[in-house]
Amino acid sequence: MHTILGAGGAVANALTRELLNNNQTIRLVSRKPIQQTDKNISWQKADLLNYNEVLEAAKGSTVIYLTAGLVYDKNIWQQQWPVIMQNAINVAKATGARLIFFDNIYMYGLVNGPITEETPYNPASVKGEIRAKIATTLMDEVKAGNINASIARAADFYGTENMNSFLDMMVIDKFAKKQRAQWMGDVNKLHNFSFIPDMGKAVYLLGQKPESDNQIWHMPTAASLPGKQFIDMIAGTYNVDPKYFAVKKFMLQLFGLFDPLVKGTVEMYYQYNHDYNFNSAKFEKAFDFKPTTYQDGFKQLSQTLYKPVA
């Protein structure tokens, strides 16, 4: 039994597809109902803040995947992430299931050079401090021998179904609609992006290999490129002029006065006006996995989620 806590998000959906393709039994856990499209899928309601509900939902699990996403608000993160993580840890102890936590890279802060699994935590934001705390809590339990768990970390996403990604929302979708794109920060700085289908495949592989437990894995992600190269590549995919404007920090601060979601991105702006060089060589070598190239990823999206307007 593969149990997904926080089902319904982009990574959870991609993982579900991989599990189904491999004829695995899946339990989706969330507060809101999820349509069951296959005999191998069941859904159970649970609030991840409620230990008893999570425990009931996770009974019989072999692997538990924590893929939850919270509202992009540091106050909510401060209140809820420690509780969710502790509940997941306690449920893993109670059930004996392996635990795989899907994480981001906020805890590393501003890094000069490649970001690897060995990069020390040096958060430059409140959200980064929260992520560092819950990741440390999890790995401390691993070191103590209390659970078998691993952390799967990804760079910024692209290929999300709900456009919960700045590359999807501000560049790909804009060019698909023949509109001017927007770029967050400095277009001359390096950045890289993790393709959602690759995330589903990679987490599935971790779930299949108990020997991958008790360590941190960076999910397979193509090499970093200057922002302008992404803009040109995506514009070429859609056969439009690579017109764009760069979003400056003061603009986010201004719009954030009226939009809490935008306000939540201000403290993360350092990721976009400095080089962001996420490295996934460890996973690629261990699993002989080649990340989808950006060219192929953008082409796929132009034929599926982000088709060009007529």
Can you tell me the mean pLDDT for 261-284?
94
> Number of helices and strands (H, E) in the chain?
12, 13
The CA distance from 111 to 206, in Å, is: 26
pLDDT of residue 252: 87
Reported confidence tier of residue 85, pLDDT bands at 50, 70, 90 = very high
Show the tokens assigned to 22: 């491999």
The region of weakest confidence among 17-21, 36-40, 84-88, 184-188 is 36-40
Reported confidence tier of residue 40, pLDDT bands at 50, 70, 90 = very high
pLDDT of residue 256: 75
pLDDT of residue 37: 77
The CA distance from 208 to 222, in Å, is: 23
Reported confidence tier of residue 269, pLDDT bands at 50, 70, 90 = very high
Q: Is pLDDT at 36 greater than 80 in this prediction? A: no
Q: H-helix or E-strand containing 190?
A: strand 190-191
pLDDT of residue 257: 81
Cα-Cα-Cα-Cα torsion 226, 231, 236, 240, nearest 10 degrees, comes to -160
The CA distance from 19 to 17, in Å, is: 5
The region of weakest confidence among 30-39, 109-118, 130-139, 214-223 is 30-39
CB burial of 138-168 (b: ≥16 within 10 Å; e: otherwise) equals bbebbeeeebbbbbbbbbbbbbbeeeebbbb
Reported confidence tier of residue 206, pLDDT bands at 50, 70, 90 = very high
2 close to 24: Cβ distance less than 8 angstroms: yes
- For residue 39, what is the DSSP state? T
Cα-Cα-Cα-Cα torsion 1, 34, 200, 273, nearest 10 degrees, comes to -140
Sign of CA dihedral 160, 161, 165, 170: positive
The CA distance from 183 to 248, in Å, is: 9
pLDDT of residue 143: 98
pTM above 0.75, yes or no: yes
**% of the chain exceeding 70 in pLDDT:** 100
User: What's the angle, vertex CA 97, arms to CA 204 and CA 89, rounded to 5?
Assistant: 105
Sign of CA dihedral 194, 197, 198, 200: positive
Q: Is pLDDT at 2 greater than 90 in this prediction? A: yes
pLDDT tens for 284-300 read 999 999 999 999 999 99
Reported confidence tier of residue 259, pLDDT bands at 50, 70, 90 = confident
Q: Is pLDDT at 255 greater than 90 in this prediction? A: no
Residue entry with tokens 């941190």: 216
- Residues with Cβ within 8 Å of residue 131, at least 6 apart in sequence: 81, 103, 104, 106, 107, 123
pLDDT of residue 96: 97
Q: Is pLDDT at 146 greater than 90 in this prediction? A: yes
